[in-house]
Structure 1
Amino acid sequence: MKIKTQLMLTFFTATVVPLLLIVLMVAGMMRYQLHVIEETYGVEGQYDMLLGDSTQLLSRMTQTTARAVADTTKSSPDTLMDKSYLDTVNDQLSKIFSGIIVRQNNRIIYNGYREDTLTIADLPDFQDPSQNTGAGFYIDGAKANMLKQIDFRFTDGAYGSVFIVTSLSGLIPLIRQMFWQMILMAIMIMVLAGMFLTTWLFRTILQPISKLQEATKQIRDGNLDFTLEVQSDNEIGLLCQDFEDMRIRLKESAEEKVENERESRVLIRNISHDLRTPLTAIKGYVEGIRDGIADSPEKLDRYLRTIYNKTNDMDHLIDELTLYSRIDTNRIPYNFVKVRVNDYFRDCSEEVGVDMDARGVEFSYGSNVADNVKVILDPEQMKRVVNNIIGNSLKYMDKKPGRITIRILDKGDFIQTVIEDNGVGIPKEDLRKIFERFYRTDKSRNSKRGGSGIGLSIVKKIIEDHGGRIWATSDENKGTAMHFELRKAEDEEKYASDSEQTDEGGNGK
């Protein structure tokens, strides 16, 4: 999930969701409190009054008691002077924020209302029961009381009045309790929403950033042997993935650097060994000449020819070392030209054939490629490829007479060059490794099979830089064949000829 989407969801979760939950909570809390009020005060189904006209609700709450007292004033008015009776009635009224006051003439004989202090002066005047209904209720605005007045006469003729007084703020404690409960629930909802959002943001944003920070410290300290696990697909997850890719590349680069340093040490060791061998020989032959051992023209000529050959070997080793340094920095100088396949490889074969005759090796060349087929290559570097492959064949030639064959084959869009020998062959497990730098199937280093160990790796590099590919096949004790392919060049003369024929036919320009 993208961070933009996460932020939108965060806003929605932090505002809309808590608001909806609070609304639902308020509705549920009010329903519960109204149910409690219903059960407590016996006003079932009076939701409109609970939420609206609370005066009517309070009046109905005392209506039953008022009727019972009114009946008593008619049937037994003197009972209103009985304190135990009045206490019983008052206990019932106190549960609904009310109380009873009894007046005889101009004095209060019983006052069970404790919510406020009412004096005789606060009470309405006596109304003759014969002139009215004998009951009514009034609102005392000054002290927020509702009075239900029932006037009657005692048996001795005294005027009497019963007042059922109800505090208009009687429901306020319940409402206040409900209000604070709603506030508390709203706070809990906000806290829970905040905790959820904090945990979510920590897992999706802050935790990956923390892991990324730890990974940067690991790289700063030179440690690349760890894995940065990516569990999200947002922008930070993509950043972590890019960082992990960078770490892998850095690790590969560091490992490659270590491998290159190892290979460089191997190369130096190989070159040092292989240079020491011809140098020792040259030194011995020079000392022989100086000491007069070469005491005949024939022996002197043989000594000088040997010295010349050893210096050529040294020159070849130095040339390989120079080329290796250029390969390592991808700075091999190429001069690509378009050449005819048969002409180029025929010339190479003639040069190789002269050297093979001198070495007593049978050499042959063949091609089934048409004379007009061309390829684009660097003549000098491709000649190095042929010479390195043949030189490698000569090192491992163990039969008399040795045989080397060059064949050029037409493979559709490619031409394939096959250089075969009848040497010792290469074990199957070594075939895929022979193009690696410094790899030698013969682990021993001797004067007969010396070399830097980079000849075939140079060959592979040059072929790949030409856009081709190279591989080897071999039978142990029978010989080895090196195969490399190059893509044919476009035949411009053929296209020109086809274009002219099209123009003459009227289908051209």
Structure 2
Amino acid sequence: MYIKRKLKLTYVTILITSFLLIILLSNLFMAFIEDNSKYSASAKFGKGNFAFFIGLVTENNKILQKVSSEVLKNPDNFLDHKYLLQLEKSSNIKYTGIVTIVNNKIDYSSNIIKGYINEDMLYSFNSNDTDQVRNKIIILWKQDFVTSTKDKGSIYYIIDLENYKKLFKENVIIVAVLILIILTATNGIITYFVSKSIVKPIKELDKGAGEILKGNLDYKLDIDSSDEIGEVADTFEEMRLRLKESLEIQKHYEENRKELIASISHDLKTPITSIKGYIEGIKDGVADTPDKMEKYVNTILTKANYMDSLINDLFLYSKLDLNKEPFKFQKVDMNVYIRDCVEEINFDLDQNKVNLKFNVPDTPTLLNIDVQKVKRAIMNIVENSIKYKTDERLIIEIILRRYSSNVILEIKDNGRGIPKEALPYIFERFYRADTSRETTIGGSGLGLAIAKKIMDEHNGEISVDSEANVGTSIFLSFKE
């Protein structure tokens, strides 16, 4: 529920609750002040003001029926004050009385109104006046009668307004105070619970922000709300998770950076040390024959070429890792493309030691690729196969085929294979299955990592299947 709607419902609830409590209070109060009546405390607590007015009408009709019956049977009873007193006492409604007028003069009046009642306040005999409210009284009904002595008279059933006014004046402050208490209590209680449902989540949000400020990204908000605060809490929680993930990635990158620096330092230090050693040998006259001199110079060149290759691979990998290396995609026929790649690579291979061949479909296979980057990936994989060949003649086969909606490029060799425990790591930078990290085999340790980055940019996948002493297959999967 949204906060705006919740506040509206709170306002309506306060009004309705206050109204119902005020009605209940008025019923209880009327019951209290009417405690001398049969329709007082016991009735009011159960039925309220409605019962009071029903009782008034009932009593009014009951006494009127008695009077009407007596007018017909024995009207002389209205001259008997004892009878009128008995009739008055039969009424169960407080602040009501009976008045009789005989021959235009008051003959009997109840004590409650005797002090101020007079003939001018009442209807005359046979009067058609319908005005029931007269000054300080309400005339509920009037009944004319004629006695046996031909005296003309009227009997009146009256409510004394003065006593009700006095009672109201005496208790109006109490009623006002009680109403004020009801309004204050109702508003306070409902506002407390509504504000609690708003303030508590805000405090939890503040606590969560404080925990993040301290660096505690594992603190999870405990907020179960469907309003705007709940939406803020969900956004806050998503922010916390993303921030935590970002810091973990940053930590991972920092660890990789340290590992990268250590790997570069190791891979550069070894050839540099070797170069320095051979140069010092030349300087000291150790290479005192043409053969030794040629050997020293060739070794220095080999080490320098290795360092150049390492730096080039490292530069390319860094640009790929930072998405700074541009890719130029174009649609090519992979059948022709693989044939050209094999011819180009074969040109630099010793055919007596390595046999590089290809197998492509008869029908054209069109793909959108960066031709230079994919060629680099293929060459890195082929070079990797050559580095880890056995003493037997190495056979490398590049196989192109379709599988479902993908185009699979398999580069298969019959080399020494890769240990099973090393397979999950071969596409990581500077990883070598040979942990000695000697440069006798050569290479930067970045070839397969570069191939993986290139495949990532093509939205493709690279995978490996290898068996020790049998060979290795590396699969490049492209989406058509």
Same fold, TM-score > 0.5, yes or no:
yes
Choose 30-39 or 246-255, whichever is displaced more.
Answer: 30-39
1:386 aligns with 2:341: no
The residue that corresponds to 1:315 in the other structure is: 308
**Equivalents in 1 of 2:422, 2:217: separation in Å?**
32
Which TM-score applies when normalising by structure 1?
0.66
| Counterpart among 187, 195, 200 of residue 201 in structure 1 | 195
**Counterpart contact for 1:22–1:186, Cα < 8 Å:** no
Map Cα deviations across residues 347-378 of structure 1 (whole Å, 9 max, x no partner).
Answer: 322343344428x7433322222363332222
Counterpart of 1:48, as a letter, is: F
Q: Mapping of 1:283-362 within 5 angstroms?
A: 283-357=276-350, 361-362=353-354
For the 8 Å contact 1:212–1:240, the answer to whether it is kept is yes
Q: Judging changes above 3 Å, is the alpha-carbon distance between structure 1 residues 486 and 347 closer, same or farther for their aligned structure 2 residues?
A: same
Assess, with a 3 A threshold, how the Cα gap between structure 1 residues 418 and 182 changes in structure 2: closer, same or farther: same
1:264 aligns with 2:257: yes
Instruction: Determine the C-alpha separation between the residues in 2 that align with 1:191 and 1:275.
Output: 82
For the 8 Å contact 2:39–2:51, the answer to whether it is kept is no
Distance 2:115 2:185 in 1: 45
With structure 2 as the length reference, what TM-score do the two structures score? 0.70
Whichever residue aligns with residue 249 of structure 1, its letter is: R
The question of whether the paired residues in 1 share the 8 Å contact of 2:316 and 2:325 is answered with yes
Q: Judging changes above 3 Å, is the alpha-carbon distance between structure 1 residues 315 and 197 closer, same or farther for their aligned structure 2 residues? A: same
Task: Write the distance in 1 (CA, Å) between the matches of 2:24 and 2:42.
Answer: 23
* Residue of structure 2 in register with 1:234 after alignment: 227
Q: In the alignment, what sits opposite 2:2?
A: 2
Q: Does 1:405 align with 2:396?
A: yes
Counterpart for residue 225 of structure 1? 218
TM-fit CA distance, 1:474: 1.9
Conservation of the 8 A alpha-carbon contact between 1:419 and 1:483: yes
Between 410-419 and 429-438, the greater mean CA deviation after superposition: 429-438
1:153 aligned residue = none
Q: Which letter maps to 2:37?
A: E
Query: Per the alignment, in what secondary structure is the counterpart of residue 218 of structure 2?
Result: coil
Rounded to whole Å, the distance in 2 between the matches of 1:198 and 1:326 is: 60
Q: State the partner residue of 1:38.
A: 37
Structure 1 residues 453 and 217, CA gap change in structure 2 (3 angstroms): farther
Q: What is the CA-CA distance between 1:227 and the residue it aligns to?
A: 1.9
Q: Secondary structure at the match of 1:38?
A: coil
Identify if the C-alpha distance between structure 1 residues 309 and 296 changes in structure 2 by more than 3 Å, giving closer, same or farther: same
Contact 1:427–1:476 under 8 Å retained in 2: yes
Task: Note if 1:373 corresponds to 2:365.
Answer: yes
Count of matched residue positions in the alignment of Structure 1 and Structure 2: 413
**Deviations 1:422-446 (CA, angstroms, capped at 9, x unpaired):** 4443444543443344555444433
AA at the equivalent of 1:279: I
The corresponding residue for 1:276 is 269
Deviations 1:179-208, CA, capped at 9 Å, x for gaps: 8368526633652343233323332x3333
Q: AA paired with 1:256?
A: I
Deviation of 1:463 after TM superposition, in Å, equals 0.7
Task: Check if 1:431 corresponds to 2:429.
Answer: no
Deviations 1:468-506 (A, max 9, x none): 211111223433211012234xxxxxxxxxxxxxxxxxx
The one of 48, 52, 61 aligned to 1:47: 52
| Structure 2 counterpart of 1:13, one-letter code | T
Name 1:135's counterpart in structure 2.
Answer: 108
Q: In the alignment, is residue 469 of structure 1 matched against residue 461 of structure 2?
A: yes
User: Contact 1:404/1:419 (CA < 8 Å) preserved in 2?
Assistant: no
Structure-1 residue corresponding to 2:20 = 21
Give the direction of change, closer, same or farther, for the CA distance of 1:364–1:388 in structure 2 (3 Å limit).
closer
For 2:196 and 2:105, how far apart are their aligned partners in 1? 76
Task: Describe the superposition over 1:330-355 as per-residue Cα deviations: whole angstroms up to 9, x where unpaired.
Answer: 11122223333233223322343344
- Pair 39,421 (structure 1): closer, same or farther in 2 beyond 3 Å: same
Distance 1:42 1:22, change over 3 A: closer
Aligned mates of 1:286, 1:41 — CA distance in 2: 123
CA contact (8 A) 2:18 2:186 kept: no
CA shift for structure 1 position 277: 1.4
Checking the alignment, whether the CA contact within 8 Å between 1:470 and 1:484 is kept in structure 2 is: yes
Classify 1:328/1:201 alpha carbon distance in 2 versus 1 (closer, same or farther; 3 Å): farther
* SS of the residue 1:415 aligns to: strand
d(CA) in 1 for partners of 2:221 and 2:4? 24
CA distance in 2, matches of 1:338, 1:321: 29
Structure 2: distance between partners of 1:436 and 1:393: 17
Cα distance per residue 1:39-78 (max 9 Å; x no partner) = 48899898239889x9x9xx99xxxxxx9x9559x9xxxx
SS in 2 for 1:36: coil
Query: Residues 14 and 194 of structure 1 are in contact (CA less than 8 Å); yes or no, is this contact kept in structure 2?
Result: no
1:82 maps to what in 2?
Answer: none
Partner Cα separation in structure 2 for residue 170 and residue 273 of structure 1: 111
Contact residue 33 and residue 178 of structure 1 kept, 8 A = no
SS in 2 for 1:303: helix
Consecutive unaligned residues in structure 1, runs of 5 or more:
61-66, 75-95, 99-126, 147-165, 489-509
Letter in 2 for 1:14: I
**What is the CA-CA distance between 1:258 and the residue it aligns to?**
1.7
In 2 relative to 1, CA 343–309 (structure 1 residues): closer, same or farther, beyond 3 Å? Answer: farther
Distance in 1, matches of 2:258 and 2:51, equals 99
SS in 1 for 2:399: strand
Q: Structure 1 residue 381: deviation in Å?
A: 1.6
AA aligned to 1:283 is K
Counterpart of 2:185, as a letter, is V
Structure 1 window deviating more from structure 2 (436-445 vs 476-485): it is 436-445
Is the deviation greater in 191-200 or in 246-255?
191-200
- What is the RMSD of the two structures over their aligned residues, measured on CA atoms? 4.7
- Which letter does structure 1 place at the counterpart of 2:115? D
Q: What is the DSSP-based 3-state SS (H/G/I as helix, E as strand, rest coil) of the residue aligned with 1:474?
A: strand
